[in-house]
Structure 1
Amino acid sequence: MKTLIATDLDRTMIYSKAALKAAPSTADLRCVELAKHKPVSFMTVAAADLLAEVSAQTPLIPTTTRTIAQFKRIHLPGEPWRYAITSNGGNILVDGTPDPEWLGAVIDATRAAGASLAEVAAELQSRISDEWVDKFRIADDLFCYLVVQLDRLPPSFLTEWGTWCADHGWAASQQGRKIYSMPSTVCKSRAVAEVRKRLIAEGRLDASATVVAAGDGALDAEMLMAADAGIRPRHGELEALNWQYPTVALTDRSGVDAGEEIVRWFADRA
């Protein structure tokens, strides 16, 4: 194989009911995630069918900031996956099982690079209030995030918190109602590079294989820049920032229709 595909999931491949409302589509939809037996995430039928075809021909790596448990709720066309990346690159799943060696290396690198998760969590909790924070969560013992009320979020919070994080080897990023606090060592691009190396060693990928990637959020930017070619939808955090890069294309459409456009872009390159 001469191409490796790495794709973000939420608001890139799959779309929640809230995301569907933000950019309505007339396309037929397929549910690809259930939570408590209720449908929560969708793709267009055309995108789902084509993604199954593409992933049967070309190594495709689901690459998400979701925790392992959250990722396992998704039934993305093309599964089961030899490799999947969760926790923003902090975990690599091999045939559905977390690789302890990779996780250990990430944790060691985080300790060496700056503040510990415990220190960051304590500092963050000292800065937030129940008046505008609905949830505080630790994700897979690697990073933390908030779910906030956007209309009550203090205007200076993200800038001030981002500055503190940058001074301590971390970064802050907002995606919708979620504000992530992420170690600089936990990133999707490093995990994608590791999976590429393993696939080459297994003989499933040519040594000269190119990487193509898709994503919509600031946490995807490094992965998009590291890829030989990338694409992002006309919505999400990167769109709001007007983020551009010479090798990263933009979709014509937004919402779930952009997800279908991205799969077609993958198919052209596979």
Structure 2
Amino acid sequence: MVVFSDLDRSIIYSKRFLGENSKELEIEVYKGENISYISQKTVNLIKEINKNSCFIPTTTRTTEQFKRIEFSKYGLNFKYAITSNGGNILIDGDIDKDYKIFIEKKLELSSSIDDTIKLLEKYKSVYGIKKIRKAEEFFFYIVVDKEEFDLRSIEGFIREIKGLNWDTYKNGTKVYFVPSALKKSTAIKYICDKLNYKQTFAIGDSIMDKDMLEFCRSSYLLGHGDLVNILQKENPFLVSKKSGFEGTEEVLNSIILSQKNLNNNI
């Protein structure tokens, strides 16, 4: 059994989710500031899952950003991790070279990242676009003002890159432009095929998690996530009743219960 889990707003949270008397654990420091937190219950539940299965962090974060998260500080150590939205698989913290060759071959079906970014140049002055950022050499995104930016203002660009095998995802204050083959599910399928995992679970909250949730057999969606609103009545996933840290704990407890039921039926 294996659990693939998104991180931000699925397992770890920013300050906005902290209560007034919060006792959540600090897990990420950036530029001298604590920016991400995890609950002690979440730590304990992930450890419980890892006793009889494999818990694999699966994130859109780059490898560098992922390594900022101090999981080991609380005794959480992961054999595998997926970073860069499926661009890298880490084994004991090191990049899987075989997978790197595999994914680079798939990315050849899309135009190069530099050529694609150049097409965005004429849209740089669009109202509401604050920054353009490249994530390693895999994908890029714009940071926007949610109140001022209108996705329709770059519709021409979106259509143009779609023909070059690039997809577009809007998630909060960011709009991601990603090669069509670069998906969390690409890396997940690779791991499952390699390690013969059949019982697959997934945890996510956003549009960037949708393909992962669709791929896995049992998938959980955090109730506070944007994807709940996007899917509405067509949502096929299990949605947490609670939000934030408590929502995460609810989902992890459900997975542990499923794990026990599976083991009892063997």
Same fold? TM cut 0.5: yes
2:39 counterpart letter in structure 1:
T
- CA separation of 1:5 and 1:78: change in aligned 2, threshold 3 A: farther
The separation in 2 between residues aligned to 1:87 and 1:78, in whole angstroms, is: 24
- Say if 2:43 and 2:76, in contact at 8 Å, map to a contact too: no
- Say if 1:174 and 1:237, in contact at 8 Å, map to a contact too: no
The separation in 1 between residues aligned to 2:120 and 2:56, in whole angstroms, is: 32
Q: Secondary structure at the match of 1:151?
A: coil
The separation in 1 between residues aligned to 2:258 and 2:244, in whole angstroms, is: 22
- CA separation of 1:228 and 1:265: change in aligned 2, threshold 3 A: same
- Quick check: 1:132 aligned with 2:128? yes
- CA separation of 1:241 and 1:137: change in aligned 2, threshold 3 A: same
- 1:203 matched residue in structure 2: none
- Say if 1:215 and 1:231, in contact at 8 Å, map to a contact too: yes
The separation in 2 between residues aligned to 1:122 and 1:169, in whole angstroms, is: 15
The separation in 1 between residues aligned to 2:163 and 2:123, in whole angstroms, is: 16
1:166 counterpart letter in structure 2:
K
Instruction: Give 1:86 deviation, angstroms.
Output: 0.1
- 1:150 matched residue in structure 2: 146
- 1:181 matched residue in structure 2: 177
For CA contacts below 8 A with separation 6 or more, give which structure has more relative contact order: 1
Aligned residues: 256
The separation in 2 between residues aligned to 1:85 and 1:146, in whole angstroms, is: 22
The separation in 1 between residues aligned to 2:75 and 2:164, in whole angstroms, is: 39
TM-score (norm 1): 0.86
- 1:223 matched residue in structure 2: 212
The separation in 2 between residues aligned to 1:125 and 1:250, in whole angstroms, is: 39
- Say if 2:39 and 2:245, in contact at 8 Å, map to a contact too: yes
- Say if 1:233 and 1:250, in contact at 8 Å, map to a contact too: yes
Q: Percent identity?
A: 29
- CA separation of 1:78 and 1:184: change in aligned 2, threshold 3 A: farther
- CA separation of 1:157 and 1:100: change in aligned 2, threshold 3 A: farther
1:17 to 15, 18, 30: 15
- 1:269 matched residue in structure 2: 258
TM-score (norm 2): 0.88
Q: Secondary structure at the match of 1:114?
A: coil
- Say if 1:16 and 1:41, in contact at 8 Å, map to a contact too: yes
Instruction: Give 1:10 deviation, angstroms.
Output: 0.7
The separation in 1 between residues aligned to 2:103 and 2:27, in whole angstroms, is: 30
Q: Secondary structure at the match of 1:222?
A: helix
- Say if 1:188 and 1:220, in contact at 8 Å, map to a contact too: yes
The separation in 2 between residues aligned to 1:43 and 1:97, in whole angstroms, is: 24
Any residues of structure 2 matched to 1:80-229 within 5 Å, and which? 80-111=77-108, 113-129=109-125, 132-157=128-153, 159-200=155-196, 209-229=198-218
Name whichever of 115-124 and 5-14 sits farther off.
Answer: 115-124
In structure 1, runs of 5+ residues without a counterpart are 201-206
- 1:8 matched residue in structure 2: 6
- Say if 1:143 and 1:181, in contact at 8 Å, map to a contact too: yes
2:80 counterpart letter in structure 1:
Y
Post-superposition CA distance 1:19-39 (Å, at most 9, x none): x16xx5866311221212321
- Say if 1:56 and 1:78, in contact at 8 Å, map to a contact too: no
- 1:204 matched residue in structure 2: none
The separation in 1 between residues aligned to 2:29 and 2:240, in whole angstroms, is: 27
Q: Secondary structure at the match of 1:257?
A: helix
The separation in 1 between residues aligned to 2:63 and 2:150, in whole angstroms, is: 31
- Say if 1:82 and 1:94, in contact at 8 Å, map to a contact too: yes
Q: Secondary structure at the match of 1:162?
A: helix
For the aligned residue pairs, the C-alpha RMSD in angstroms reads: 2.2
2:44 to 46, 49, 74: 49
